Structure 1
Amino acid sequence: MQDVTKKHDKEVKVIPLLITLSIGVVIWFLPTPSGVTEQAWHLLAIFIATIVGLIIKPLPMGSVAILAIMATGLTKTLSIDDALSGFQNSTIWLIVIAFFISRGFIKTGLGTRIAYLFVKKFGKKTLGLSYSLLASDLILAPAMPSNTARAGGIIFPIIRSLSETFGSRPGDGTERKIGAFLTKVAFQGDMVTSAMFMTAMAANPLAANLAKDILKTDISWTSWAAAALVPGLVSLILIPLVLYKLYPPEIKETKGATELATQKLKELGPLKRSEKSMIAVFLLILFLWIFGEKGLPILGEIGATTTAFIGLSALLLTQVLTWSDIKKEENAWDTLTWFSALVMMATHLDKLGLISWFSNRMKDSVSDMAWVWGLVILAVVYFYSHYFFASATAHVSAMYSSFLAVITAAGAPGMLAALILAYFSNLYGCITHYGSGPAPVFFGSGYITQGKWWSLGLILSVMHIVVWFVIGGLWWKVLGLW
């Protein structure tokens, strides 16, 4: 009993906890800026303290989230109903169910079979494996408007199985063998493929509609894709190379992997009933993710999260998964807790007017600048303001219109500005482990520490900005956008 108590005591780190609380208290008692309500400022203090807590980890992430929810209710900053509203977010449940779908692939052995097929085809080098994952995502992206479903439900289970095939598992010191590298590459690549097509991420059509209101002209699917083609492909090519240099896998060449994979596939034998059930459910999920939101005969529209619940229900009914399996998926329930808290606070910061106040302040700062510099500065600010958001859709809803209006008022070509902000509305997901739907799925796997996730994300964010402004800028000149 004494050992158990000591083990749990170690979860609370006093000094980091005091630092986290102190930062929140200091911001809380700072003078409230003009134009900001006291309620919004106090919620910002709790939000920033929560982010600090997630970084320096005075407690596990779920515990930090619980403290944040408690703080918003105890201080009457939000009602307890509002403080718990994040748990109603459908995207969060889509993320959680993606973990369960991943467990189905692993439990049945289907994921291992798929992994060996990948190894057989692309298994000579780890770099080749990473590019095969990006190519798969790129092919699926135009038809799947949920990047969480695409990356979390399809790509991630394959990565996890590949990693475990090569003996790379979270928590036992083998993360860097191959799992961490493949996880980071696939996640970062998904941010790029999401930017490349109007139909590759749920908020993209929203950005296009907001741009139409301001520019009084449509952004067509073709013009979106054409403008993103060159910078997008360049980013996809560079991501594995940059990460291979900065965060290399220990396994670089898998000599004999093709022969090994062939032998393992023979040992696995024919498909088991559970694998066939998993394939059937997987194809059902894939079909509904691609076509369900467009509307089906009789059934009508079926959203991505509803599809996820259909898939999970089917896995339970076919006994591919049991309720015991669901209860044991700790990463899923942990993600539900901390991501719900962040989404809740980010949503109410917008509702309380803090985001619009921030946007208006930026408008004043660039009013006398040349349009080129105004575009660059505001686009970069828009990009990095995503540190304050736990949802790309929320960010687009809160800031896209105001930033586009400011940039175009400064004289920037409207279509150019609209597309850059739209692309950045996907690319900015690369910086944190909570800023996009797929992020908690990949980060929650445990292969990469939070500090490394953030530092690599920051480096890649700079790379994206340079690529899309320089390479993209030249390409957009050819297309006549400026």
Structure 2
Amino acid sequence: MLLSKEQYKKFLWPVLVGVLLWLCTSLRPEPLSAEAWQMFAIFVATIIGCITQPLPIGAISIIGFVAATLTNVIDIDTAVAGFGNSSIWLIAMAFFISRGFIKTGLGRRIALNFVSLFGKRTLQLAYSIIGVDLVLAPATPSNTARAGGVIYPIIQSLADAFHSNPKDETRQDIGAFLMFTEFHGDIITSAMFLTAMAGNPLAQAFASNANITINWITWFLAALVPGIISLIIIPFLIYKIYPPKIKETPNAKQWANKQLKDMGTFSRSEKMMSGIFILALISWMTSSLTGIDATLTAFIALALLLITGVLSWQDVLKETGAWNTLTWFSILVMMATQLNELGFIPWFSQLIVANLGNMNWFLVLCLLCLIYFYSHYFFASATAHVSAMYAALLSVALTAGVPGQLAALMLGFFGSLVSSTTHYSSGPAPIYFDSKFVTQSEWWKMNFILGIVYIIIWLGVGTAWTKIIGIW
């Protein structure tokens, strides 16, 4: 099927910006090589293409890949080397693991049990739903699959059970509150685990390029306290500023029990899935002791899922999200790595730091996180935002004297927290917004307030906590 006129129009900005930057090669700053500037032009054009999306992000990345190699900015061996990045393969493997939760019904069963146990009041019900997200997050790098594939149908069914309809004012009875609260719960859990959002391992890879090591347990421990505080405070704040009309939900337990009865007994495949998930989680948490790499653990988990028959090879082949992510992540990481190796990012960092003067490093960190957070209004993908800005901001932070692991982790956390901005901020955002329970004005107003809360918790409490546990 040929592309539409609208799709071709969306090529205008990436092509125009890329060509203009390329033509400015002769006017580039003196310290930069022609190759560094030209890679910058291709990278910027690719990122803009990922935002305007005339084609899916994977296709845009392939075009950028071809442009970089065809123009001899980099050779083909350097270009394809990006597909061997272990952090990106970790993302792909965890996609397959998360497919097991959906295929076996284990994710749905966990959600229904939480609702049955804790769903007597609306606020408790919201916490229980977020609790499901928290349980699934360590093995679900696609927060879109987690929030959209597992939890969203549960909330939709609950709203229906309480006759909360997005088409009239009954939307505020319970549906709007549950939808918006789970959206934020998913943001928080995405920040808490290295393997909970696709952009996190990407940040880990960029940090590694800067000789900063972040493993699964380091990320988890650093995010633990600000994450728990956020999980407690954010739903309560939403309950106060956007209260549901229905406060008590005694029927939720009965509804969940009926759904569980219809599902039947705990199946063999669910038992296998549970055991393999627990083994993977233990391996990730103890990697610093066992020496087993996080990516290897994910491969082992997938092998066990295949051996036990929980997943078939056809399931793996049909998991298009994993293969799509593997493709475009590999290319964007390769481009960002080349920007660093060709000298563009070090030059850019020195330029920014020179204009900061003798500013205290903590103020620099706060400024960079604020820039990172509020610039997300221009992005429709948290992962694309990480790809575009993380490496450069980290380099600026290091040059300004911010402790390495602290800078890498804080920017890593904010790579997820930036999603608390718009209704197009990340994969889960349009899913929950398109349910029509929450209006666009409500979405933006509440997100602006909650964004300030996130910044205070993670930069304030989070930085203090990392000092206590010896990160810096």
TM over 0.5, shorter chain: yes
Provide the rounded CA distance (Å) in 1 between the counterparts of 2:464 and 2:271. 49
Out of 300, 307, 327, which is 1:317 matched to?
Answer: 307
User: 1:91 maps to which residue?
Assistant: 87
1:429 partnered with 2:429: no
CA distance in 2, matches of 1:262, 1:428: 38
Whole-Å Cα distance in 2 between the matches of residues 182 and 428 of structure 1?
18
1:172-201, CA deviations, whole angstroms, 9 ceiling, x for partnerless residues? x99x9767863553233331567xxxxx99
Residue identity matched to 1:39: E
Q: Provide the residue aligned with 1:23 in structure 2.
A: 17
Partner of 1:447: 431
The Cα shift of 1:62 comes to: 1.5
User: CA–CA distance in 1 between the matches of 2:145 and 2:225?
Assistant: 26
1:277–1:431 Cα change, 3 Å: closer
| CA positional deviation for 1:254 | 6.0
- The equivalences for 1:250-289 within 5 A come to 256-289=251-284
Report the identity percentage: 39
Pair 1:160 & 2:138 matched: no
Residues 67-108 of structure 1, C-alpha deviations (whole Å, 9 max, x = no match): 111111111111122222222112222212222222212222
Q: CA 1:361–1:464 in structure 2 vs 1: closer, same or farther (change >3 Å)?
A: farther
Q: Indicate conservation of the 8 Å contact 2:7/2:55, yes or no.
A: yes
Query: Which residue identity lines up with residue 189 of structure 1 in the other structure?
Result: T
Q: Which residue of 1 aligns with 2:160?
A: none
- The Cα shift of 1:122 comes to 3.1
The offset of 1:472, in angstroms, is 6.7
Equivalent AA in structure 1 for residue 268 of structure 2: R
| Equivalent position SS for 2:286 | helix
Q: Which residue pairs with 1:339 in the alignment?
A: 329
Aligned counterparts of 2:298 and 2:468: Cα–Cα separation in 1? 42
Query: Residue 431 of structure 2 aligns to a residue in which SS?
Result: coil
Residue 246 of structure 1, CA deviation: 10
* Equivalent position of 1:38 in the other structure: 34
For the 8 Å contact 1:121–1:258, the answer to whether it is kept is: yes
Deviation track 1:221-240 (CA, whole Å, cap 9, x = no partner) reads 99x97x97875554444444
CA-based RMSD of the aligned residues comes to: 5.0
Cα displacement (A) at 1:277: 2.0
For 2:320, the equivalent position in structure 1 comes to 330
Deviation of 1:275 after TM superposition, in Å, equals 1.9
The Cα shift of 1:474 comes to 9.3
Distance 1:210 1:461 in 2: 31
- The CA deviation at 1:289 is 2.0
Q: Is the 1:347–1:394 contact (alpha carbons within 8 Å) kept by the matching residues of 2? A: no
Summarize the alignment of residues 46-195 of structure 1 with structure 2, pairs less than 5 Å apart.
Answer: 46-124=42-120, 128=124, 131-132=127-128, 149-152=138-141, 157=146, 160-167=149-156, 182-192=182-192
* C-alpha contact 1:24 1:48 (8 A) present in aligned 2: yes
Amino acid in structure 2 at the alignment position of 1:9 = L
Query: Matches of 1:352 and 1:179 in 2, distance apart?
Result: 45
Amino acid at match of 2:397: F
How far 1:21 sits from its partner (Å)? Answer: 0.6
TM-score normalized by the length of structure 1: 0.69
Contact 1:11–1:59 (8 Å) recurs in 2: no
Corresponding residue for residue 217 of structure 1: none
1:35 counterpart SS class? coil
Change (3 A) 1:233 1:113: closer
**1:240-259 equivalent positions in 2, closer than 5 A:** 240=235, 256-259=251-254
How many angstroms does 1:268 deviate by? Answer: 2.5
- The answer (yes or no) to whether the contact 2:188–2:230 under 8 Å persists in 1 is no
For 2:274 and 2:383, locate their aligned partners in 1 and report how far apart those are by CA, in whole Å.
Answer: 35
Residue identity matched to 1:13 = Q
Contact persistence 1:389–1:395 (CA under 8 A): no
- Unmatched segments (≥5 aa) in structure 2: 158-165, 168-174, 195-199, 420-424, 435-439
Q: Structure 2 CA distance, aligned partners of 1:459 and 1:48? A: 31
- Report whether the alignment pairs 1:306 with 2:296: yes
Give the aligned residue type for 1:165: I
Residue number in structure 2 paired with 1:145:
none
d(CA) in 1 for partners of 2:359 and 2:91? 42
Structure 1 match to 2:422: none
Aligned residues: 425
